[in-house]
Amino acid sequence: MYEHDVLVVGAGGAGLRAAIAAHEAGADTAIVSKLHPVRSHTGAAEGGINAALQEGDDWELHAYDTMKGSDYLADAPAVETLAQDAPEDTMRLEHWGMPFSREEDGRVSQRPFGGLSYPRTTYAGAETGHHLLHTMYEQVVKRGIQVYDEWYVMNLATTDEEDPNDRQCEGIVAYDVQSGNVEGFKANQGVILATGGPGQAFDHTTNAVSCTGDGHAMAYRAGAPLEDMEFIQFHPTSLPSTGVLISEGVRGEGGILYNNDGERFMFEYGYANNSGELASRDVVARAELDEVAEGRGVEDEYVHLDMRHLGEDRILDRLENILHLAEDFEGVDGLVEPMPVKPGQHYAMGGIEVDENGQTCIDGLYAAGECACVSVHGGNRLGGNALPELIVFGKRAGAHAAGDDLGEPEIRTGYGDDVEDDDTELPVAPGASGLDSTDAVADGGVAAETGALEQAVERERARVERLMDKDSGVQHAEIRSKLQNAMTDYVNVFRNEEGIKKALKLIRECREEYQDVYVDDPSKTFNTDLQQTIETRNLIDVAETIALGALVRNEFRGAHWRQENQVRDDENWLKHTLVSWDDGEPSIFYRPVILEGEEKTYEPKVRSY
Ligand SMILES: Cc1cc2nc3c(=O)[nH]c(=O)nc-3n(C[C@H](O)[C@H](O)[C@H](O)COP(=O)(O)OP(=O)(O)OC[C@H]3O[C@@H](n4cnc5c(N)ncnc54)[C@H](O)[C@@H]3O)c2cc1C
């Protein structure tokens, strides 16, 4: 058994920042991560970090752009905190040595990004995330913060009170990838989940194979609701063959989108008459798919992104990485030809419901970064707003878990008297149906009595043993691929009731097939087959919450388009969707969005660009 004051699960931008803050607040802090920190997916971030740094810009404009970009589904207290803290937290990175790109006069450069009213995105070439990770990992090493890397966290250890709001998180259970041992980690003050996104729930994604929604699934099964899961961002410029991202920085620097007829369609067909290519991501992604549907796509699949006119010097200075990606993955030389791009799953706006201090409704359980929903992105995240979220709310979660007083949060969490229940009829009974066998026993993070951690460790050891002992059945890859295809086919950019119901049925089938899953690789060490089998179980839960949210939200807001109701319905839907795991099945409820900021209310307006 290992023991620390604060345990941070995940070593991406959010986890590293949380650990530094918890350590600075005096807590004995450790990071537990399935990857070495600098291999975390934050390293793939290309474009930059939004922060109002320059004269002429201010945090209020940043907050306004973010509320508008969210299609008025973000909570104003969180958005204002993000916009207010981002400048100082970004400059702290600079003081820690982050090599931001600079202007001739030495000032940190900032570029325009989609949906921003001011060029507010700071960057380090087109490798911002890579430098961010390395800068913060240096700080972690410098402070001597303990890192358990290549430890896969399987579940949380929480107490078992009937109401999740009364539960307490006592620690985590993790699998040592190098030895195959399953061990308990006790957290005296708090566990912070910083496990990143669930992109692997989809077939065509810009996310790494490690983005399997583990933290989402663990928190969900322990009783913390998942919020606004239907809001998935599809990035307009991913490479068609692999999903690898071509940064919005290309359009920020002046890159242009063309259809197969050589038309600059964002203007030609009036998708965004003011901002064109730099409209918000949901707007551009839908425009591209409309072009393909109208027969104006290249090879009936994608459109072209052209940056040749920017000139070799500028491209090499600011976008060199993009040249390598286009060459390596599509065999295209971006200096002499346009690059093929199409929308790909990119980001989850929703996540584990937390307040401004990163706390869930379960005492001692926190979440930060992409796995959390505070919520600053609402229905659509603006490019460049995820990285500041990592550093602002990672820092707050770490400090609060370590005992710092950050004030009373305005955002409420968990089921309470301010929520509204849902009564939608579901096409299939979702949830744990078919999971009454041994898997269900090992499934919940909730222990039966005191000694929650010891019991959780025993359950997870039994789960590994069972998966390893079984010598035939279905392999996880088969189930995962069925799940990913169901999500990409039916819960993509364009959605309708019939399709989402089909997806829910297929997800239910995956859940049932998972009862017969087995691990082929008998190795005790570095058994990726075992790890991916467990991850697939998490993906099933997360995919189901995405599809459930998409089904019940019968309106068009931000990234969530519904064929049956193609308008934003502020009268009925200015509310967050919450899905919580309630006694073996999902239950859905709603909480009103908070539009009142410190000094003003963000009245919903038509969102045009
Ligand atoms: C290609 C790409 C480019 C992007 N570019 C930008 C950009 O320019 N600007 C911007 O603002 N946003 C950008 N984003 C979004 C942003 O990069 C991510 O949202 C953000 O980096 C996520 O950080 P994180 O710390 O939450 O998670 P991650 O960086 O994904 O880290 C997750 C961590 O959790 C660990 N982990 C996960 N599960 C477990 C488990 N079960 N046990 C133990 N450890 C676990 C992993 O090992 C990892 O260390 C981009 C996203 C993508 C995909």
Please name the residue that has the structure tokens 């969005």. 593
- The model's pLDDT over 346-391, given as tens digits with 9 standing for 90+, comes to 999 999 999 999 999 999 999 999 999 999 999 999 999 999 999 9
Q: Name residues whose C-beta falls within 8 Å of residue 114's C-beta, 6 or more positions apart in sequence.
A: 248, 251, 252, 275, 278, 279, 280, 281, 284, 382, 383
Return the H-helix or E-strand segment holding 490.
helix 476-490
- The model's pLDDT over 195-228, given as tens digits with 9 standing for 90+, comes to 999 999 999 999 999 999 999 999 999 999 999 9
Which pLDDT score is estimated for 429? 78
Please name the residue that has the structure tokens 């959605």. 495
Quick check: helix, strand or coil at residue 283?
A: helix
DSSP secondary structure letters along 85-142: HHHHHHHHHHHTT----B-TTSPBPEE--TT-SS--EE-STT-HHHHHHHHHHHHHHH
Which pLDDT score is estimated for 452? 94
Closest by CA position to 431, among listed 331, 557, 520, 540: 540
Which pLDDT score is estimated for 528? 96
Pocket test for ligand 1, best of 149, 202, 387 (most atoms within 8 A of CB): 387
Mean pLDDT for 155-169 is 96
The token pair that represents 266 in the structure block? 């964002």
429 vs 58, residue with greater confidence = 58
Closest by CA position to 399, among listed 81, 10, 5, 21: 21
First-last CA distance in the chain: 55
**Residue 241: is its pLDDT beyond 90?**
yes
Which pLDDT score is estimated for 126? 83
Compute the distance from residue 575 Cα to the ligand 1 centre, in Å: 26
Specify which residues 169 forms β-bridges with. Answer: 158
Report residue 437's pLDDT band, with 50, 70 and 90 as the boundaries.
very low
- The model's pLDDT over 556-589, given as tens digits with 9 standing for 90+, comes to 999 999 999 999 999 999 999 999 998 888 999 9
Residue 71 sits at the vertex; the CA angle it makes with 67 and 75, to the nearest 5 degrees, is 45
Rounded to whole angstroms, the Cα distance separating 204 from 485 reads 9
Quote the percentage of the chain above a pLDDT of 90: 91
Which pLDDT score is estimated for 506? 97
**Residue 145: is its pLDDT beyond 90?**
yes
Mean pLDDT for 436-460 is 65
Of ligand 1's listed atoms, the one at least distance from the Cα of 197 is 30
Radius of gyration of the chain (CA): 23
Which pLDDT score is estimated for 303? 98
Q: Are 591 and 418 in contact, with CB atoms under 8 Å apart?
A: yes
Compute the distance from residue 245 Cα to the ligand 1 centre, in Å: 14
Distances (CA, A) of 262 to 238, 247, 277: 19, 22, 15
- The model's pLDDT over 474-517, given as tens digits with 9 standing for 90+, comes to 999 999 999 999 999 999 999 999 999 999 999 999 999 999 99
Closest by CA position to 386, among listed 589, 161, 128, 585: 128
Tell me which residues are annotated as active site. 281
Report residue 524's pLDDT band, with 50, 70 and 90 as the boundaries.
very high
Rounded to whole angstroms, the Cα distance separating 594 from 513 reads 41
Compute the distance from residue 437 Cα to the ligand 1 centre, in Å: 34
Mean pLDDT for 320-336 is 96
Compute the distance from residue 384 Cα to the ligand 1 centre, in Å: 13
Of ligand 1's listed atoms, the one at least distance from the Cα of 211 is 30
**Residue 31: is its pLDDT beyond 70?**
yes
Domains of the chain: 2-194+384-405 (3.50.50.60), 237-343 (3.90.700.10), 432-575 (1.20.58.100)
Quick check: helix, strand or coil at residue 220?
A: helix
Rounded to whole angstroms, the Cα distance separating 394 from 374 reads 11
Rounded to whole angstroms, the Cα distance separating 536 from 528 reads 12
Pocket test for ligand 1, best of 82, 195, 390 (most atoms within 8 A of CB): 195
Q: Name residues whose C-beta falls within 8 Å of residue 95's C-beta, 6 or more positions apart in sequence.
A: none
Residues with CB under 6 A from ligand 1: 9-15, 32-35, 40-42, 44-48, 128-129, 152-153, 194-197, 206-207, 210-211, 214, 245, 346-347, 369-371, 384-387, 390
Rounded to whole angstroms, the Cα distance separating 274 from 322 reads 26
Q: Are 29 and 52 in contact, with CB atoms under 8 Å apart?
A: no
Cβ neighbours around 606 below 10 Å, total: 6
Which pLDDT score is estimated for 88? 98
Compute the distance from residue 592 Cα to the ligand 1 centre, in Å: 28
**Residue 443: is its pLDDT beyond 70?**
no
**Residue 110: is its pLDDT beyond 90?**
yes
Report residue 447's pLDDT band, with 50, 70 and 90 as the boundaries.
very low
How high is the mean pLDDT of the chain?
A: 94
Report residue 432's pLDDT band, with 50, 70 and 90 as the boundaries.
low
Cβ neighbours around 605 below 10 Å, total: 9
Report residue 466's pLDDT band, with 50, 70 and 90 as the boundaries.
very high
Which pLDDT score is estimated for 450? 54
Pocket test for ligand 1, best of 370, 375, 534, 541 (most atoms within 8 A of CB): 370
